[in-house]
């Protein structure tokens, strides 16, 4: 943290360059005002001035402090990104790439893995990774660093991606499917891979990450530009107000034979005091900090526009598997039929599942243990013959001591039972149909040709997901589940999770059509995806979060990349987006309310010498025009510092309707923005008088 502050202080002075200041029009006006008062201070040393040198020096110092405080807020926000960029650069280095040709790849694809590895290693030629071109093929073996972004064409390996994601656990990358993308800078831990270069040096995913986390590469968003135009307009309005007041003061002073209390120094200070400098100084920091919070959540936003859009999203398309459910169906109940005992059914189901290493099979073993205390047994050396599952029989089980236990799909077990002279009762058929209609999967268990009952497998809704969706509903966001399941199953899961709608038996075309339909109705749509078949829908969505574990096509189509590859991250992204918009809106409200309060607090005190009747409006009874001006300009500088933590941290977001949130923020930041200046300026005025400064 100390290094971050030191870097921010150093950058605050570096940003005093005119070109850097010109990027923020409001603060550039403060910069020009500070430079002008510096000139006035120098002139005062030669007896050319409209105010005491001490007063001009104080105004000059405070104005330069205001500029530096604005620079510090931006530099502090940028510092997080620069620190992360430095860490990423340490993972980026020029390495030796092993390039192979297409003919060698074709031969290796026909050979056994060991022969293929030897063939590829023998034919590879060393090339610097900085010289790799798009479309070239390279080989990476265990212990080697991936030289460039690529799409895996052959092989499978364990890859350490901690340099990119921060996660220490390795991941499996393999050819085909949705986990075929390789990122340059990662390390292959085992086996080998052949990949095709998808991005040349300087344009890799790591280069994009470095550019995006460095705030210098951040482009202003449309909302930010619109707000900046509003601030410029307000600045021009207050500039006109200041000159008008100066004219009034000059005319009245001339007619009364008095001195104009609004000299050029006070005029410049008054203009800076009234201009919306608070939000002007913090606006850039708010945007940078919003993207930084996304980076801290391990999400790479390719543009600030995407972060803003996340705050305005009102429709979320979410995959079922891994997002809403745990990803694998699990045993939820044992349902005996035809007079069978539930414990006997559980015992038989566990025995039939001991050799089943699938998540579903293990869940049957665990449920029997939890429900009836039936301890897991071993099949080794106990006279058991395992009957493995096959696509032909759609059953599995064990044979022992002349007994047969089978577990499988209802129609497969029916055929098995009837072939042995048994009966598949109507009760069992009804139970199986009931489980299926509720969105579950029925597995029928039989012993020696007699049906014992049904195991209910069901998608397990993730803990807390229903509460998350309730929060989204409170935000006014519609949630839509996308699944390949049949409509009955999809409806059951959607109802249990508390979703608004679902798209069953979804195809890439169906996803794309759904997004277009919602957008045509005026909605902003967000979705996640990881496969090549998700790319069209990701490209269409307003907020498209691609999984880092997914294909290159998905990552290129999305405007955000989740480095953790967690589909539920979309919910957090929406919250961060809304928090950024709320922070900007809240501090804008506070800043404008501040300006109005300062207007009514300071101007009466300044003009009382010319218009004694204004004393009635000098409700704070400020000591003198000089003390009033100094107190206001000091407050104007200090409030920027006071609000930096809020700008970086963000306004705390609470779920609720837009009207409720607007009312709360207006009450807190609107009324607070009016009240705080009165209290602070009065306290500063008293302090200045007490120490004899004014």
Residues that are catalytic = 319
CA distances from 177 to 105, 533, 539, 550, 560 (A): 19, 10, 20, 9, 21
Any binding-site annotation on 69? Answer: no
Any binding-site annotation on 395? Answer: yes
Q: Any bridge partners for residue 545, and if so which?
A: 528, 560
Per-residue 3-state assignment (H helix, E strand, C coil) for 432-479: HHHHHHCCCEEEEEEECCEEEEEEEEECCECCCHHHHHHHHHHCCCEE
Any binding-site annotation on 310? Answer: no
Any binding-site annotation on 591? Answer: no
Any binding-site annotation on 392? Answer: yes
Distance CA 413, CA 301 (A): 51
Among residues 530, 478, 475, the alpha carbon closest in space to that of 508 is found at 530
Residues 6+ apart with CB under 8 A from 406: 352, 387, 395, 396, 397, 413, 416, 445, 446, 447
Any binding-site annotation on 389? Answer: yes
Are 510 and 529 within 8 A, CB to CB? Answer: no
Distance CA 111, CA 100 (A): 16
Any binding-site annotation on 396? Answer: yes
Among residues 694, 670, 674, the alpha carbon closest in space to that of 684 is found at 694
The phi and psi torsions of 323 (rounded to 5 degrees) equal -105, -55
Distance CA 553, CA 535 (A): 6
Among residues 318, 327, 328, the alpha carbon closest in space to that of 571 is found at 318
Any binding-site annotation on 393? Answer: yes
Any binding-site annotation on 390? Answer: yes
Any binding-site annotation on 356? Answer: yes
Are 455 and 340 within 8 A, CB to CB? Answer: no
Distance CA 323, CA 493 (A): 12
Are 455 and 443 within 8 A, CB to CB? Answer: yes
Are 673 and 591 within 8 A, CB to CB? Answer: yes
First-to-last C-alpha distance (Å) of the chain? 38
Distance CA 379, CA 296 (A): 48
Annotated binding residues for Mg(2+): 530, 534
Annotated binding residues: 356, 360, 389-396, 407, 530, 534
Annotated binding residues for ATP: 356, 360, 389-396, 407
């Amino acid at each position: 943290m100390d290094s971050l502050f030191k870097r921010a202080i150093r950058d605050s002075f570096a940003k005093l360059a005119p070109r850097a200041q010109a990027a923020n029009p409001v603060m550039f006006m403060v910069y020009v005002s500070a430079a002008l008062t510096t000139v006035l201070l120098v002139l005062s040393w030669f007896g050319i001035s409209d105010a005491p040198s001490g007063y001009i020096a104080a105004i000059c110092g405070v104005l330069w402090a205001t500029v530096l405080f604005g620079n510090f807020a931006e530099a502090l926000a940028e510092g997080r990104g620069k620190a992360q960029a430095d860490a990423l650069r340490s993972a980026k280095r020029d390495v030796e790439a092993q390039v192979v040709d297409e003919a060698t790849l074709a031969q290796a694809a026909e050979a056994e893995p060991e022969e293929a590895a030897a063939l590829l290693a023998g034919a590879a030629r060393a090339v610097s990774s900085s010289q790799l071109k798009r479309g070239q093929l390279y080989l990476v073996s265990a212990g080697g660093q991936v030289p460039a972004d690529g799409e895996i064409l052959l092989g499978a390996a364990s890859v350490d991606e901690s340099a990119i994601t921060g996660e220490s656990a390795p991941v499996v990358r393999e050819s085909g499917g949705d986990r075929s993308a390789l990122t340059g800078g990662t390390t292959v831990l085992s086996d080998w891979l052949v990949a095709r270069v998808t991005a040349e040096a300087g344009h890799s995913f790591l280069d994009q990450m470095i550019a995006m986390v460095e705030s210098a590469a951040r482009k202003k968003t449309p909302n930010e530009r619109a707000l900046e135009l509003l601030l410029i307009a307000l600045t021009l309005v207050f500039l006109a107000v200041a000159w008008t007041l100066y004219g009034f003061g000059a005319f009245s002073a001339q007619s009364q034979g008095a001195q104009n209390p609004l000299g050029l120094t006070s005029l410049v200070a008054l203009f800076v005091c009234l201009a919306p400098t608070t939000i002007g100084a913090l606006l850039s920091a708010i945007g940078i900090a919003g993207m930084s919070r996304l980076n801290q959540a391990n999400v790479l936003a390719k543009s600030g526009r995407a972060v803003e859009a996340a705050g305005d999203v009102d429709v979320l398309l979410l995959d079922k598997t891994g997002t809403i459910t745990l990803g694998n169906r699990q045993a939820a109940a044992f349902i005996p039929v035809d007079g069978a005992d539930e414990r006997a059914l559980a015992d038989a189901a566990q025995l039939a599942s001991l050799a089943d290493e699938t998540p579903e099979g293990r869940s049957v073993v665990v449920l029997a243990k939890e429900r009836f205390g039936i301890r897991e047994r071993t099949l080794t050396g106990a006279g058991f013959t395992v009957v493995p599952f096959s696509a032909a029989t759609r059953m599995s089980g064990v044979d022992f001591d002349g007994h047969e236990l089978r577990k499988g799909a209802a129609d497969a077990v029916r055929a098995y039972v009837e072939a042995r002279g048994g009966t598949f009762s109507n009760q069992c058929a009804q139970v199986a149909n009931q489980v299926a209609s509720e969105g579950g999967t029925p597995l029928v268990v039989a012993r020696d040709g007699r049906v014992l009952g049904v195991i209910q497998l069901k998608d397990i809704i993730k803990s807390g997901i229903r509460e998350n969706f309730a929060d989204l509903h409170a935000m006014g966001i519609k949630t839509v589940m996308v699944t390949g399941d049949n409509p009955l199953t999809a409806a059951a899961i959607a109802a249990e999770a508390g979703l608004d709608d679902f798209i069953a038996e979804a195809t890439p075309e169906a996803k794309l059509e759904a997004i277009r339909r919602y957008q045509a109705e005026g909605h902003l749509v967000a979705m996640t995806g990881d496969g090549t078949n998700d790319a069209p829908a990701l490209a269409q969505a307003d907020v498209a979060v691609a999984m880092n574990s997914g294909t290159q096509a998905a990552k290129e189509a999305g405007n955000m990349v989740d480095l953790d590859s967690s589909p539920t991250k979309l919910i957090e992204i929406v919250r961060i987006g809304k928090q950024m918009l709320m922070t900007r809106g809240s501090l804008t409200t506070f800043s404008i309310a501040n300006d109005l309060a300062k207007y009514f607090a300071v101007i009466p005190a300044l003009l009382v010498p010319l218009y004694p009747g204004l004393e009635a409006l000098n409700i704070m009874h400020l000591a003198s025009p000089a003390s009033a001006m100094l107190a206001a300009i000091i407050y104007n500088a200090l409030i920027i510092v006071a609000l930096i933590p809020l700008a970086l941290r963000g306004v705390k977001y609470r779920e609720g309707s837009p009207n409720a949130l607007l009312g709360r923020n207006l009450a807190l930041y609107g009324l607070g923005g009016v009240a705080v200046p009165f209290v602070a300026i009065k306290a500063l005025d008293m302090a200045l008088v007490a120490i004899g400064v004014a």
